[in-house]
Structure 1
Amino acid sequence: MTAKLLMTALLAGSFFMAQAQQKAKPEDTEVWEPVPEVVKPGEVSIEAPADAVFLFNGKSLDQWVSTNDRSKPAGWTVSDGVMTVNKQAGNIETKKAFTDYQLHIEWRIPENINLEGQSRGNSGLFLASTGKGDDGYELQLLDSYNNKTYVNGMAGSIYKQFVPLANPARKPGEWQSYDVFWKAPVFAEDGSVKSPARVTVLFNGVLVQNNVELLGPTQYIGKPSYKKHGPAPIKLQAHGDKSVPISFRNIWIREL
């Protein structure tokens, strides 16, 4: 093949790949069935162990920065021991980067929420933030109490990848908890994956992700794939929906 023909073929391939990406739609990767069984959770009470580090102790956001500009402080509100999303300030993430860890976080959907589907208290816990915006590995935060949506986008899902094993969501207005055990991906020098990311998640004390092997960072459109990265911050999402912002408290971590 001559150099001219080779260049023509490469350009044509790039064109068709771009066309395919343009045609991809969010709903292409939505899964609606089977719907996880509803499980009424028991009371969950867990205190931070002695070696845990508080990422939010109810007093300040000094462990967090703006995702869009890490030189700026996190712009969410803190009142009465609770941190609440400020959509205008955008996503926030931890100052420190992590690899493997155990994480505890409590969150609350507003009691007066009145929308449906993905607009119902949407946020996200990114277990490793790999860039600005919504880049990273997302554990979904959403009101999943009597709220129909695609099941790989409900609370407890690894967004667009893994459906939760059960639905133990509490009513809006009640505090919920995630206990996360995160194993970061490991990459070779050439960028290939030596070992993929793995995660186990307890949602209100109920196992919803059991040592699942992630396919790569989560994607809103298209299929996930890995790109080499190192230790990464933990990120909380200020989702652009119309619902009332959700709140957080009692966030601590143990590096493993």
Structure 2
Amino acid sequence: MLSVRTKMRPAVFIYPGLLLLAACGSDPVVDPGECANALSMEEQQAGWRLLFDGQSLDQWRSYGEQELNTGWGVENGCLARLYRGGDIITREQFGDFELKLEWRISAAGNSGIFIRGDESGSSMHHSGVEMQVLDNAGHRDARDPSHRSGAYYDMIVPDHDTSKPVGYWNQVHIIALGPAVEFWLNGRQTAQFSLGSPRWQALYEQSKFADRPRYGTLLKGHIGLQDHGDKVWYRKIRVLER
């Protein structure tokens, strides 16, 4: 993991269930018009629900903590990593589900989306699987094809780069039904796998997770967002339980 860069802390105002901030220093800030989080009528009718509505962070907490620390907050209606705060996870756990969200990464930035993780280890990487979030053009982690945006991190290499560059929003769709999992980025599938299958087992044994026995074994767990030391924004985070 990269070391966290020292950053000037923004002013943070705390209200019940809500973090509001005024960014300072050289940190980029998203425009308020970019962070719409409402469900469409079709999504409402299908049973989708928001995990973040642009105001309240009540559905999230910091990994290993009971509440959400101030490393993450609401920036102009987006859920943003502000400065060092560690990974965050949903209070709820999900088994069979679809997850949709959009992310925007800062220059040379790194983050990730975890599914089906627990808090048995020191980080979500000990149990949950990750879809990579990365500035492929500017971050050195892109030298490893299995660490590029959309990849099943350190396990499956996308056969194409469908990510959008810094300054643009990327659309994620993750489908998890039993052991079967699909990762989609900007309308194209970037990974498909079955947890515990012979193919998955072979990949696992060659990965950095091979010494973590709980990795990829859970069929229900928390959804998480990674703090990798860089500014990142998330919006339209919604889930459909199956």
- TM-score w.r.t. the length of structure 2 is 0.69
Further displaced range: 122-131 or 228-237: 228-237
State which of 161, 172, 182 in structure 2 corresponds to 1:200.
182
CA contact (8 A) 1:68 1:90 kept: no
Equivalence for 1:138? 130
Count of aligned residue pairs for this structure pair: 186
- 1:90 shift after superposition: 1.0
- Structure 2: how far apart are the matches of 1:182 and 1:224? 24
For residues 139-166 of structure 1, give each alpha carbon's deviation from its aligned partner in whole angstroms, at most 9, with x where no partner exists.
1111124764201111111111111132
1:166 to 132, 151, 160: 160
Task: Give the conservation status (yes or no) of the 8 Å contact 2:54–2:78.
Answer: yes
The verdict on how the C-alpha distance between 1:167 and 1:96 changes in structure 2, with shifts beyond 3 A counting, is: same
RMSD of aligned Cα (Å): 2.5
**What percentage of residue pairs aligned between the two structures are identical?**
27
In the alignment, what sits opposite 1:105?
101
Question: Gaps (5+ residues) in structure 1?
Answer: 1-45, 114-119, 185-196
TM-score (normalised: structure 1):
0.65
Distance in 2 between residues matched to 1:121 and 1:145, nearest whole Å? 10
The equivalences for 1:172-251 within 5 A come to 172-184=166-178, 197-209=179-191, 211-214=192-195, 215=200, 221-223=208-210, 227=214, 229=218, 231-240=220-229, 244-251=230-237
The answer to whether the Cα contact below 8 Å between 2:79 and 2:233 also exists between their aligned partners in 1 is yes
- Whether the aligned pair in 2 keeps the contact of 1:64 and 1:74 (CA below 8 Å) is no
Distance of 2:225 and 2:209 partners within structure 1: 22
Letter in 2 for 1:253: V
Which residue number corresponds to residue 82 of structure 2? 86
- Contact kept, 8 Å, 2:155 with 2:207, in 1: the verdict is no
- Flag the 1:74–1:232 CA change in 2: closer, same or farther, 3 A: farther
Runs of 5+ unmatched residues, structure 2: 1-38
Whose radius of gyration is greater, 1 or 2? 1
CA contact (8 A) 2:116 2:129 kept: yes
Cα pair distance change 1:100/1:230, threshold 3 Å: closer
> For residue 77 of structure 1, what is the aligned residue in structure 2?
73
What is the letter of the counterpart of residue 73 of structure 1? L
The change in CA–CA distance for 1:251 and 1:130 in structure 2 (over 3 A counts) is same
| Counterparts in 2 of 1:204 and 1:229: CA distance versus 1, 3 Å | closer
> Cα deviations across residues 172-230 of structure 1 (Å, max 9, x unaligned)?
0111111110134xxxxxxxxxxxx3211220111212x31243797973527653546
The structure richer in strand per residue is 2
Equivalent-residue separation in structure 2 for 1:206 and 1:56 (angstroms): 24
The answer to whether the Cα contact below 8 Å between 1:145 and 1:170 also exists between their aligned partners in 2 is: no
Cα distance, 1:151–1:230 mapped onto 2, change above 3 Å: closer
1:74–1:250 Cα change, 3 Å: farther
The question of whether the paired residues in 2 share the 8 Å contact of 1:83 and 1:249 is answered with yes
Residue 116 (structure 2) aligns with:
128
Cα distance change on mapping 1:129 and 1:87 into 2, 3 Å: farther
